Amino acid sequence: MPENAQQFASDNYSGICPEAWAAMAEANQGHQRAYGDDEWTARAADHFRRLFETDCEVFFAFNGTAANSLALASLCQSYHSVICSETAHVETDECGAPEFFSNGSKLLPAKTENGKLTPQAISEVARKRQDIHYPKPRVVTLTQATEVGTVYRPQEVRAISATCKELGLHLHMDGARFSNACAFLGCSPADLTWKAGVDVLCFGGTKNGMAVGEAIVFFNKALAEDFDYRCKQAGQLASKMRYLSAPWVGILQDDAWLKYAKHANRCAQLLANLVEDVPGVSLMFPVEANGVFLQLSEPAIAALTARGWRFYTFIGAGGARFMCSWDTDEARVRQLAADIREVMCA
């Protein structure tokens, strides 16, 4: 298998989509004001306001860890806590950055069903302790689509937000794969966010065709106070900001973001369909976004790896994660499915 063959380990193995690339090339002409004071950044923010049908505040960071951590820090004091799912990226994959940037706000993992938090699980954690010795719950963070490839329905987000209101909690959404969630549900980005009570969304670009960059979208504008200073202090203020913002113009202006997310989701469905009848293979979670989580045998996992396939197996014994991306080639999906069949039947 060639070194640069398409893989399924992560959607960020993929490159840059033509729309983002073209926008960067277009932005790469002449001089522009620095630090976000340029026309591309203004245009990108306007595209977000149009997409979300509301007057939101938009910021850009280099990656998702920074976007999540800084957004959560802006919702918390250091003595507060953040309720998240036990499988949340902020809990398991950000090296303590949310705690670091908030000066100590503690993450409180809650139980999930298919990767999703429920009003009941949130309520249990929030009500567990209400004394001075325990960090005061202040925020709930949801991942949409979740780390296991499932998607919160708008009514599920609304129910969680109602619980948040009752308990005095802000609602943050880690949307590293927000595009895939929108593509799956076919509903408007507004319905999935501020109309359902989300205060702040971290909207992922990297996993859906951009080189770098996540947008932090504040629907509750009061919470965005001084957020620009927070980004700067954290080393997240790009001086040549146009190269972070122009690709957003590229993927938002003609809905490439949605086209690519639909494609990635479709490839995941195809993979799931192609292996579903293989003896010994079972789906660990419903396939809703662009990830397929399969229970395979240990020898089969070793054999696939020996054949050159790359995928993640962090989900416990026998679990394998396959992610599809904006540019996944259907032929490659079929090749993978055929190999899974062969190694499982060997």
Ligand X SMILES: *Cc1c(COP(=O)(O)O)cnc(C)c1O
Residue 14 or 206 with smaller CB distance to ligand X: 206
Q: How far is the CB of 177 from ligand X (least distance, A)?
A: 6
- Is 99 a binding residue for ligand X by CB under 6 A? The answer is no
β partners of residue 215: 60, 203
Alpha helices, H only, the chain: 18-27, 39-52, 64-75, 89-92, 97-101, 119-128, 154-167, 178-185, 189-192, 227-233, 242-253, 256-275, 298-306, 330-345
β partners of residue 136: 80
Give the contact letters, 67-86, x = binds to ligand X (CB under 6 A), - = no.
Answer: -x------------------
Residue 145 or 333 with smaller CB distance to ligand X: 145
The tokens of 340 are what?
């899974």
Please provide the size of the chain in residues.
Answer: 346
Q: How far is the CB of 302 from ligand X (least distance, A)?
A: 26
Using CB under 6 A, pick the residue from 6, 7, 14, 65 that binds ligand X: 65
Residue 63 or 74 with smaller CB distance to ligand X: 63
Q: How far is the CB of 188 from ligand X (least distance, A)?
A: 22
- Is 176 a binding residue for ligand X by CB under 6 A? The answer is yes
Residue 48 or 203 with smaller CB distance to ligand X: 203
Using CB under 6 A, pick the residue from 43, 89, 170, 242 that binds ligand X: 89
- Is 206 a binding residue for ligand X by CB under 6 A? The answer is yes
Residue showing the smallest CB distance to ligand X in the complex: 64
Residue 41 or 236 with smaller CB distance to ligand X: 236
**Candidate ranges 43-51, 63-71, 115-123, 134-142; the one touching ligand X (CB under 6 A):** 63-71
Task: Say which residue the tokens 């079972």 belong to.
Answer: 282
Q: Amino acid identity of 211?
A: A
- Is 64 a binding residue for ligand X by CB under 6 A? The answer is yes
Q: Quick check: 149 and 291 in contact, CB under 8 A?
A: yes
Residue 93 per-residue DSSP state: S
- Is 143 a binding residue for ligand X by CB under 6 A? The answer is yes
Residue 176 or 261 with smaller CB distance to ligand X: 176
The tokens of 272 are what?
């799931």
Q: How far is the CB of 314 from ligand X (least distance, A)?
A: 12
The tokens of 262 are what?
């639909």
Residue 43 or 177 with smaller CB distance to ligand X: 177
How many CB atoms lie under 10 A from the CB of residue 185? 18
- Binding residues with ligand X: total (CB under 6 A): 11
d(CA 70, CA 78): 13
Q: How far is the CB of 65 from ligand X (least distance, A)?
A: 3
The tokens of 138 are what?
């202040």
Q: How far is the CB of 311 from ligand X (least distance, A)?
A: 15
Q: How far is the CB of 48 from ligand X (least distance, A)?
A: 18
How many CB atoms lie under 10 A from the CB of residue 225? 12
Residue 12 or 335 with smaller CB distance to ligand X: 12
- Is 147 a binding residue for ligand X by CB under 6 A? The answer is yes
Q: Amino acid identity of 11?
A: D
Phi and psi, residue 214, nearest 5°: -130, 145
- Is 163 a binding residue for ligand X by CB under 6 A? The answer is no
Residue 92 CA: distances (Å) to CA of 86, 95, 315, 319: 8, 7, 12, 17
d(CA 306, CA 286): 28
Site for ligand X, rule CB under 6 A = 63-65, 68, 89, 143, 147, 174, 176, 206-207
